[in-house]
Structure 1
Amino acid sequence: MLKELVVNCAPHETRVALLENGTIVEVFIEREDETSIAGNIYKGRVQRVLPGMQAAFVDIGFEQAAFIYVDDVLDTESHKMFTKFEQDQDLETDTDTEDEDGLSMDKQTWKPAPSSDNIIEDLLFEGQEILVQVSKSAIGSKGPRVTTHISLAGRYMVLMPTVDHIGISKRIETEAERTRLRELLLSIRENSFGYILRTQSLGVTADTIKKEMEFLTKTWEEIQNKNQITSAPSLVYKDLTVTFRAVRDLLANEADKLIIDSPVEYERVHQFLRKLLPDVNLSVVLYQGREPIFEAYNIEGDVARALKKKVWLKSGGYIVIEQTEALVAIDVNTGRYVGKHNFDETILKTNLEAVKEIAYQTRLRNIGGIIIIDFIDMKKESHKEKVMTLLNEAMKKDKSQTNILPLTELGLVQMTRKRTRRNLTRTLCEPCFYCNGTGHLLSKKSICHKIYRDLVSEAGDIMGNRFTVKVHPDIAQLLHGREKHLIAALETQFSKPIAIYPEPHYHLEEYHIFESLVK
């Protein structure tokens, strides 16, 4: 399978698309005015401690305060107890997860188990200055989540300076290689820092590991020095841009080639590779075509389609994706597909086709949280098993952690997908200013009847001998046309003329009623 990274660099915006055999499967977008802060390290100040939630708010310099749970606050004594327990048990660490921008990043998914004596009031107090790392960017109305358990990711390893732990990626399955890497790391480690060897470390030499270890250690020393001389709140360390995270985490691991349209960034990528991977020859190409790079690779249209609710299937069926604050609902429909044999086979084929599209769309749109899939009802148990088997297989391609529950009697599947960043819709769109995000407007006929009721309600309080109603032009046309009987009935009832005036700048649901005297 040919995998390519296509990078579009524009002023104040960078877009990275991962293509598999020419089809976009993931897209990452970063803008200067709203850059993801996940991975950044800040010197923050505790704003407020919340004993009832065992959490605290931390000011890191943004309008929204960051949120930290008690489990994310480093406590020296409980940390030592955990470290000894982990070493005794030889626990492994599942390190292959997504970072906050969706790029593959190996970092610890465990946290030191809090002691029963650990309560937030004993660890933090208002006004306290602490060094924190953003583990999850702000999503919607929720502020960023932070932790004091710092991790610095390189290409081959993750440095964890606050814990004494050695971990190996579970994706390295050969026991001999796992043993080699563990012994190699222990032999060259000169401190008590924790390290996790990433999937990319498979087969690498001790010299390569040592160079990256020295680089990450130096980075941590620089962070500590800056922390000593800066005042809170302030940025202490900024993570790599989306382009360089793509180079570090996807190129040569998830992709075979990188195509970029900026000569300046092209040179910077080469410099980055010489510094990070001097011994590896990777394919980086400067795009010089006349057509914009995302259009040349047919990406622009795919991104636009990924913002629509309805997605058509090849057979003629379709799925509808509805996103709410708490969950995402996906509805499967047969649409134009009528099948060739019998009704059960038609339903099965539609559901199977929908499974592949759902797996693709959740990854492309970066849909996270709770996902409810409403498949078309199937009578045969064998058909249900086929659909669930295919769904589980299809979701294995997704790097984000997913959990799929069994099919219910109502034909519903409950699924969770780890939410690490804003989905594509929230990144590129904002609530409709016209409907305020509800997705619905009162029908024109309903608005006419609402005007009628308001006129009846206000008629007794109006002293003038004439009504004037200003409305949207479409409503004016309706009140002068099919709904004119409403106005005629009111004129007869109150013996007063009613003038309807169109106002082009009015919202469809907006109207105003005035009284006037006519001599």
Structure 2
Amino acid sequence: MTEEILINVTPQETRVAIVRQGTVQELHIERQLSRGCVGNIYLGKVVRVLPGIQSAFIDIGLDRAAFLHVTDIWRPRFSLDVAVNAPQKPIEKIVCEGQALMVQVIKDPISTKGARLSTQISIAGRTLVYLPQEPYIGISKKIESEAEREAVRARLISSLPIDEKGGYIVRTIAEYASSKELLNDSTYLRKIWSTIQTRAMQVPPPILLYRELSLAHRVLRDLVNDDTTWIQVDSYETSQMLVEFANKFMSTITAKLHHYTGERPLFNLYNIETEILRALSRRVDLRSGGYLIIDQNEAMTIIDVNTGGYVGTRNLDDTIFKTNYEAAYTIARQLRLRNLGGIIIIDFIDMDNATHRDAVLSELKTALSQDRIRVTVNSFSQLGLVEMTRKRTRESLAHLLCEPCLVCQGKGHVKTARTVCYDILREILRRSKQFNACEFRIIAAQQVINLFLEEESQHLSTLSNFMGKLVSLQVESNLNQEQYKIVLI
């Protein structure tokens, strides 16, 4: 399956779109003022230890303290002092307040949660991931051939210096890498680690010791593969930087890099801007006429499948199956586009036919297999729902590009004007019992005042007569429908 990578660069942000067979499959956005910190290595300071939840809060210099759970504290995999199945010590016996600790971010801050940390350091290269604390060599599970796995392991071991103390994870892209390429990558990674160690001994915490590569550079390192035919960059300066980076670390992809010089903006040319707008919409239309409703909240994401205008040509079962089958592929693509993570509940249209259910579930798993992020999918539950999880490492597209509505405060709906009218009437009655005012002035949005002047005028008059007080009305255009003020005169 052929793949194109489009990189749009402006002084304020970098955007990357992965296009397969003419369809946008992934979007990545990095802003200069809020660069993600996954992969960054810090010298942090323990500010609080919480034995009750076996966690600690670490100051790494960000706005919020980062979070370290006891399960993310590194233990030697091979050590005479630690039995293989020895239980983890409680966190209060491992770290203490005020202690300096080298940590790496494994999850960006999300919503109100701080970054999640690990004390196991890993530094990613093009073909290898360096594990300076572990004398261990692991092979990517995506290299399935046992013979090739052993061949890659042998090439790596033969290229390493005799006194090598660290370990490595061999990435999928290293399947056909030569010993020289593996050696160059390992040498580069060991130099980075040496620099980190030196800096850690020279500066007080909290301090950034190592910053992960920029998005444009990570694209070359992590996303380019044999299926990638074209990498277009609309910034001359960035394209030159990437060519230099590629020549140094991955010369085979240099020919795929091109500086885009067309008159139309790169993302407009490939219709990416429209796809971004669609990825922010709650509703996603299917080609058949059905549609999805995607609701994202703090606890989970819920996806509802509907037939919409699709009536099929044969019978109801066939219509439902075709809608669900198309939805399965679209759901997998939307999860990647929107970068939705955590718990995801999919409510497919009910299917009585077990063969249809199996086919839809198989299509969903096949579509999800293209995802670079780890996913787990369960079978249909007794309620006909599919439960799945997708690892959450950074903010979703909606959280990155949007903010809660100032009118509804993120609820997705507002009180009707009539409801607000009744709230105001109750509030005036309550205040009349507390304060001896001569007049109550209602200041509200135009829609609310209109109701008081028309349909609710009788209720307003009844309240005024009951209190023996004047009630006046005033429109305030700056107030939204739910907001109002009651002024006592």
1:401 Cα shift?
A: 1.4
Instruction: Please point out which of 201, 216, 221 is paired with 2:189.
Output: 216
- CA change 1:165–1:82 in 2 (3 A) is farther
Aligned residue in 2 for 1:186: 157
Give the aligned residue type for 2:42.
Y
1:255 Cα shift?
A: 2.3
1:495 Cα shift?
A: 4.5
Aligned residue in 2 for 1:469: 442
CA contact (8 A) 2:173 2:225 kept: no
CA contact (8 A) 2:247 2:254 kept: no
Instruction: Please point out which of 171, 182, 197 is paired with 2:142.
Output: 171
Aligned residue in 2 for 1:431: 404
1:71 Cα shift?
A: 2.8
Aligned residue in 1 for 2:473: 500
SS of the equivalent of 2:52 reads coil
1:330 Cα shift?
A: 0.6
Regions of 4+ moved over 4 Å? 81-85
CA contact (8 A) 2:39 2:211 kept: yes
1:278 Cα shift?
A: 3.2
Per-residue CA distance 1:418-461 (angstroms, 9 max, x = gap): 11111111111111122111112111111112222223333344
Instruction: Please point out which of 366, 384, 400 is paired with 2:339.
Output: 366
Give the aligned residue type for 2:124.
A
Give the aligned residue type for 1:322.
D
Are positions 1:141 and 2:112 aligned together? yes
CA contact (8 A) 1:75 1:123 kept: no
CA contact (8 A) 1:5 1:17 kept: yes
Per-residue CA distance 1:94-119 (angstroms, 9 max, x = gap): xxxxxxxxxxxxxxxxxxx7x32622
Paired with 1:468 and 1:129, the residues of 2 have a C-alpha distance of 60
Aligned residue in 1 for 2:452: 479
- CA change 1:512–1:175 in 2 (3 A) is closer
Paired with 1:410 and 1:260, the residues of 2 have a C-alpha distance of 48
SS of the equivalent of 2:380 reads coil
1:410 Cα shift?
A: 2.0
Paired with 2:129 and 2:469, the residues of 1 have a C-alpha distance of 79
SS of the equivalent of 1:202 reads helix
Aligned residue in 2 for 1:10: 10
154-163 or 406-415: which moved more? 406-415
Give the aligned residue type for 1:237.
Y
Paired with 1:458 and 1:51, the residues of 2 have a C-alpha distance of 48
CA contact (8 A) 1:167 1:197 kept: yes
300-309 or 115-124: which moved more? 115-124
TM-score (norm: length of structure 1): 0.90
- CA change 1:320–1:504 in 2 (3 A) is same
CA contact (8 A) 2:294 2:304 kept: yes
CA contact (8 A) 2:233 2:260 kept: yes
Aligned residue in 2 for 1:199: 172
419-428 or 482-491: which moved more? 482-491
Aligned residue in 1 for 2:428: 455
Aligned residue in 1 for 2:65: 65
Paired with 1:187 and 1:63, the residues of 2 have a C-alpha distance of 45
1:179 Cα shift?
A: 1.6
1:515 Cα shift?
A: 3.8
Instruction: Please point out which of 258, 279, 290 is paired with 1:317.
Output: 290
Instruction: Please point out which of 83, 94, 111 is paired with 1:123.
Output: 94
504-513 or 442-451: which moved more? 504-513
User: Unmatched 5+ residue regions in structure 1?
Assistant: 86-112
Are positions 1:348 and 2:321 aligned together? yes
Are positions 1:327 and 2:300 aligned together? yes
Aligned residue in 1 for 2:20: 20
Per-residue CA distance 1:238-286 (angstroms, 9 max, x = gap): 1100000001112234522110111110110111011112355431111
1:498 Cα shift?
A: 2.5
Aligned residue in 2 for 1:156: 127
- CA change 1:263–1:169 in 2 (3 A) is same
1:147 Cα shift?
A: 1.4
- CA change 1:340–1:279 in 2 (3 A) is closer
- CA change 1:194–1:506 in 2 (3 A) is same
Aligned residue in 1 for 2:56: 56
Paired with 2:223 and 2:51, the residues of 1 have a C-alpha distance of 41
RMSD: 1.9
Question: Which residues of 2 match residues 264-303 of structure 1 at below 5 A?
Answer: 264-278=237-251, 280-303=253-276
TM-score (norm: length of structure 2): 0.95
1:135 Cα shift?
A: 1.2
SS of the equivalent of 1:178 reads helix
SS of the equivalent of 2:150 reads helix
Give the aligned residue type for 2:129.
V
- CA change 1:196–1:449 in 2 (3 A) is same
CA contact (8 A) 1:469 1:514 kept: yes
1:464 Cα shift?
A: 4.3
Per-residue CA distance 1:59-81 (angstroms, 9 max, x = gap): 111121111122322345x6525
Paired with 2:486 and 2:186, the residues of 1 have a C-alpha distance of 73
CA contact (8 A) 1:471 1:511 kept: yes
Paired with 1:304 and 1:200, the residues of 2 have a C-alpha distance of 33
- CA change 1:466–1:278 in 2 (3 A) is closer
Paired with 1:82 and 1:316, the residues of 2 have a C-alpha distance of 63
CA contact (8 A) 1:252 1:282 kept: no
Equivalent pairs, count: 487
Paired with 1:462 and 1:135, the residues of 2 have a C-alpha distance of 57
1:126 Cα shift?
A: 1.1
CA contact (8 A) 1:60 1:66 kept: yes
Give the aligned residue type for 1:260.
V
Aligned residue in 1 for 2:46: 46
